[in-house]
Structure 1
Amino acid sequence: MRAVALAALSAVARVPGFLIPVLVAATYGAGPHTDAYFVAYGAALLAAGTLAQSVEVAIVPFAARAILTRGAAARGFFDRSAGALTATSALLWLAVVPVVTLATTAGLRGDVLRYAASFTPLVLLWCGSAVYAGGHVSQSRIATATGSTLWRGAGGLAALAVLPAGTGLWAVGLGLGLGELCRVLWLRRRMWTLTPLGGWGGEGARVADGPNSSLARATAAVMFGSSMGTAAPVLEKLMAVSLAAGAASHLEYAYRLLAIPAVLFDGALAPMLLARWSQAVAATGRPPAAPELWRAVGKGLGLAGAIGLTTALLAPGLVHVLLLHGRFRPEDAATVSGVLQGLSIGFVATMATLLLERFYIAAARTGTIATYSSLRAAVRVLVALVLLRRLGILAFVIGYAVAEWGYLAALTARARPALSATPAPAAPVPGSPETA
């Protein structure tokens, strides 16, 4: 029941963010301006979203350990980590924007740059939010972390509602940034009001006050894997703009609709497993046993299969109800429906790997994720590139399915030796009950 409640909360928190592309479709349809907007948004996801999502996951085991052992010193760990990662996202943004702009068609470059400028506040603030959200997850306060995304979406939705339609899509980017500012301030405040900072370590714990090298390595590994997963959709959109006008928008709309059934996994099941396994590793130094891991992944795979089949069957009706308004045409709806049905096949594997990845993160084996994620992204893009001329937009559907199922098979095979080679229990912390 807790998973259902968390999924419902996560879904409610994401409603504003989900409504934004729906309203964009109704107001602007699918064409060059929306293509440029989604390319710029993809660049923001690549630079900041990838890093932030990686941090929010990778920091959980370290946050659990920090709060358990450091007491009030954990404040410095979180604040300094947020500052360092914000600076990193700024550097990544400066590197990504020129590359993405030059990679798109000449007619869209001006719009891409303008939209990218509007996304800059969001890019700079996203990582700070991720640090504190990960801290909440480490204490099993998943509702606080997942519910906080309401701030970001509400900001973008407010910009669409307050500003006139002729203002342009750049207002949405600024609204998302304002919402993210509210989110990071709220999460930080909740962190210190809810977290018991009188832990074993207290002020006298012999620990560093900022992000350590282990966290940096774990974040880098998860980020590399996530960046490969985020880079693939960006490359897909760049390839899609070579097709008919609106193809990149059709692809984006389908991916956004697929996020609806995914909320049960990334908003509830995955963070619940990561919190449970990270707390266990922090206390005992050992990852979950094989029966627990395979039971969780197996149930997740079965649930994802049922959801994927339902999504494929309901795709035409879903697109009709949510997107077929305003300037969004029936032929646009038909294309998005077909893409969504095809993506449902790869969706099943994606959700199963989302759960399996939490084992690797809790067990500090993030290098495996980085390696196999790069292969997954390469397969996804190469398959689409080979089939693009022959199949058009359906090439992206096939590439996604092949890559996701291959990734699941690789992680499953690699988990078996990892389970038999568990690390020794961590040394007790001075002053803890273990040494009392």
Structure 2
Amino acid sequence: MGAATAGTLVGNALSLLLPFVITSWYAAGPTTDAYFFALGAILLLNVTLSAAVEAGTTPQIAVLLRTSPDDVPSFVRRTQAVATTLCGLLTLLAITVVITVLLPASGFTPGQLHDVNVILLLLSPLPPLITWNAVNSGTFYAFGSFGLPTASVGMRTLVALISGFFLRQEIGIVAVPVGLVVGELGRLVVLELRARSLLGDRPGDGRRPSHSTSVPSQRQFWRSAGPQAVSTSLGALSPFVDKTIAIGLGAAAITTVELSQRMVYTPILFLLSGVGLVLGSRWAGHAAEQNWNDLRVEHLRARRVVLVVGGGVVLVAVPLVFVFRPLMSSALSLDDPSILAWTFTTAALGIPFALATQVCVRVLLAVRSTRWMPLVTVLGISLNLVLDLLLVRLLGVPGIGLATAAVNVLNWIAYGAIADRALRSRLGSVGAAEFPVDASGDLSREETSS
């Protein structure tokens, strides 16, 4: 767990700082609003498949390592090919929709529209690259290797910071997206070299992995990862909707929303990312061994712990943000830093529930019970949109943060109930024999009652 936590801290610290550095370089205003709007669209594409693929790869490989380890290399390569191709097609479609439909109705100035179009095109290779790397990361986690995939995330941001620093005078803010793509490409090379060694799949070694279970394994993988991919892609609409609504709230409103979201994301990332990776890998092993009782006990304990810790974080972080308002005003060129402080405060109310929700998601992925995820996400998006429209009239930009917190509460309730039901079904009177591990790598039979 120490390697995972350390790698996560190293890999994501720069990513969390990037929007604040960009805002300090270019000052909060139309230029940063255009950048964060375009970046929000690309981040939506990033999570369309990459998060689902990474999380779904680990439990599937855990089963293959137990049932047919020779099929792991072929499964990894097939998954990379299919997921990356699908992500590339979705990227092309989504950027086309954003440029032709959303931007003309956005209210951006001609200069902002130009910036958004250029940044979108420059960032378009990023989602397929991240999806390819996500499969490798999920593979490493299944093998219990956490340091490299988590720490290497920082390569993307490090190159972007270097590019932005040295080229911002020559080519402006577009230096940052160029650096992000180049950095992710470098990360791909590093992970591929390590993956070939890990899988024993070096070119020319004469090994030909068996394909006896590769097709069934692919079916089981996409049966689990498919609903999560739909769920995560829909869920990524909420921050994008927040930024779209913020367009009408004045200059630097999008930047304020982006910075507050990053500030909320920071404690969630530092508290759960490293631990979550280890727990997800551990729980995938429990599921592969059908240790349902151990899995349920650890899951419930983790939910209680993150709720308490998350509440403590809120009590500490909110006063600190208000104390540092003068610093935010000078460093970020914000006319009214109190708006950012209040937006963070309202959104931070949902931090404990967001942490607990992620614990529930991890256990659902471990037992591959993901069928209800898209429905919960649709409910969350609908609630977020309605509350955004209502609360911005009452509170302005901080209303967007309060809507986010409310959605986190809804997700906590829904995912908690689904996770409890999934685990109870495996501990019910029918017994664990109802969920055999067969040669195709299927961990469990979906509950007919669900």
TM-fit CA distance, 1:145: 2.2
Equivalent AA in structure 1 for residue 14 of structure 2: P
Alignment partner, residue 214 of structure 2: 208
Does residue 252 (structure 1) correspond to residue 258 (structure 2)? The answer is yes
Alignment partner, residue 376 of structure 2: 372
Q: Distance in 2 between matches of 1:334 and 1:8?
A: 33
Name the CA shift for 1:51/1:428 in 2 (closer, same or farther; >3 Å): closer
Alignment partner, residue 13 of structure 1: 11
Secondary structure of the 1:337 match is: helix
Alignment partner, residue 204 of structure 2: none
Equivalent AA in structure 2 for residue 264 of structure 1: F
TM-fit CA distance, 1:421: 0.9
TM-fit CA distance, 1:318: 5.1
Structure 2 regions of 5+ residues with no counterpart? Answer: 202-207, 427-431, 441-450
Task: Summarize the alignment of residues 332-411 of structure 1 with structure 2, pairs less than 5 Å apart.
Answer: 332-411=336-415
Whether the 8 Å contact between 2:4 and 2:147 is mirrored in structure 1 is: yes
Task: Summarize the alignment of residues 65-104 of structure 1 with structure 2, pairs less than 5 Å apart.
Answer: 65-101=63-99, 102-103=101-102, 104=106
TM-score (structure 2 length as normaliser): 0.87
Equivalent AA in structure 1 for residue 285 of structure 2: Q
TM-fit CA distance, 1:258: 2.0
Whether the 8 Å contact between 2:234 and 2:378 is mirrored in structure 1 is: yes
Does residue 295 (structure 1) correspond to residue 301 (structure 2)? The answer is yes
Secondary structure of the 2:250 match is: coil
TM-fit CA distance, 1:354: 0.6
Secondary structure of the 2:8 match is: helix
Name the CA shift for 1:16/1:401 in 2 (closer, same or farther; >3 Å): closer
Whether the 8 Å contact between 1:316 and 1:337 is mirrored in structure 2 is: yes
Whether the 8 Å contact between 2:28 and 2:334 is mirrored in structure 1 is: no
Whether the 8 Å contact between 2:283 and 2:295 is mirrored in structure 1 is: no
Match of 1:241 among 237, 247, 267: 247
TM-fit CA distance, 1:390: 2.6
Alpha-carbon displacement from aligned partner over 1:307-338 (angstroms, at most 9, x marks no partner): 122111211345655x4445x23534222112
TM-fit CA distance, 1:259: 2.4
Task: Summarize the alignment of residues 3-402 of structure 1 with structure 2, pairs less than 5 Å apart.
Answer: 6-101=4-99, 102-103=101-102, 104-107=106-109, 108-195=112-199, 203-204=209-210, 206-208=212-214, 212-284=218-290, 286=292, 288-317=294-323, 321=327, 323-325=328-330, 328-402=332-406
TM-fit CA distance, 1:80: 2.0
Whether the 8 Å contact between 2:57 and 2:221 is mirrored in structure 1 is: yes
Aligned residues: 423
Q: Distance in 1 between matches of 2:127 and 2:212?
A: 34
Q: Distance in 2 between matches of 1:340 and 1:427?
A: 46
TM-fit CA distance, 1:100: 2.6
Equivalent AA in structure 2 for residue 339 of structure 1: T
TM-fit CA distance, 1:210: 9.2
- Which stretch shows the higher mean deviation, 210-219 or 252-261? 210-219
Secondary structure of the 2:371 match is: helix
- Which stretch shows the higher mean deviation, 147-156 or 280-289? 280-289
Does residue 427 (structure 1) correspond to residue 444 (structure 2)? The answer is no
- Which stretch shows the higher mean deviation, 140-149 or 258-267? 258-267
Secondary structure of the 1:331 match is: coil
- Which stretch shows the higher mean deviation, 111-120 or 386-395? 386-395
Equivalent AA in structure 2 for residue 85 of structure 1: A
Secondary structure of the 1:90 match is: helix
Secondary structure of the 1:115 match is: helix
Q: Distance in 2 between matches of 1:46 and 1:93?
A: 10
Equivalent AA in structure 2 for residue 389 of structure 1: R
Name the CA shift for 1:153/1:370 in 2 (closer, same or farther; >3 Å): same
Alignment partner, residue 433 of structure 1: none
TM-fit CA distance, 1:177: 0.7
TM-fit CA distance, 1:43: 0.9
Alpha-carbon displacement from aligned partner over 1:206-252 (angstroms, at most 9, x marks no partner): 22269712212222211121122210000110110011111011010
Whether the 8 Å contact between 2:260 and 2:340 is mirrored in structure 1 is: yes
Secondary structure of the 1:284 match is: coil
Secondary structure of the 1:367 match is: coil
Backbone CA RMSD of aligned residues: 2.4
Whether the 8 Å contact between 1:52 and 1:130 is mirrored in structure 2 is: yes
Whether the 8 Å contact between 2:7 and 2:274 is mirrored in structure 1 is: no
Whether the 8 Å contact between 1:70 and 1:205 is mirrored in structure 2 is: no
TM-score (structure 1 length as normaliser): 0.90
- Which stretch shows the higher mean deviation, 283-292 or 403-412? 283-292
- Which stretch shows the higher mean deviation, 261-270 or 119-128? 261-270
Secondary structure of the 1:241 match is: helix
Equivalent AA in structure 1 for residue 269 of structure 2: V
Alignment partner, residue 434 of structure 1: none
Alpha-carbon displacement from aligned partner over 1:281-305 (angstroms, at most 9, x marks no partner): 1233747543322111111111111
Equivalent AA in structure 1 for residue 44 of structure 2: L
TM-fit CA distance, 1:28: 1.1
Name the CA shift for 1:106/1:161 in 2 (closer, same or farther; >3 Å): closer
Whether the 8 Å contact between 2:160 and 2:177 is mirrored in structure 1 is: yes
